[in-house]
Amino acid sequence: MADQFIISSANIDNRKGNGLGYLIIKDLVKMMDATLQISSMKNKGTIVSIHVPVGKN
């Protein structure tokens, strides 16, 4: 989905930020042996779900 630390200079949508949030969460999810699900609908919003296993031996 994203390459680490690649930031486009084309700001087509006038979005603020540098896009590091996804990269940070992706690494945290991997360290916790969790799963990440992202669902997005244009002009509606985005749902981000993180499922963390509990009671794992």
pLDDT number for residue 20: 77
pLDDT number for residue 57: 60
Helix (H, G, I), strand (E, B) or coil at 28: helix
Which is higher by pLDDT, 57 or 23? 23
Q: How many helices (H) and strands (E) does the chain have?
A: 1, 2
* Phi and psi at residue 41, to the nearest 5°: -125, 125
> Tell me: the pLDDT tens digits for 4-41?
555 555 555 666 666 778 888 999 999 999 999 999 99
Pairing label, strands 45-51, 35-41: antiparallel
Check whether 52 has a pLDDT greater than 90.
Answer: yes
pLDDT number for residue 17: 64
pLDDT number for residue 55: 78
pLDDT number for residue 21: 84
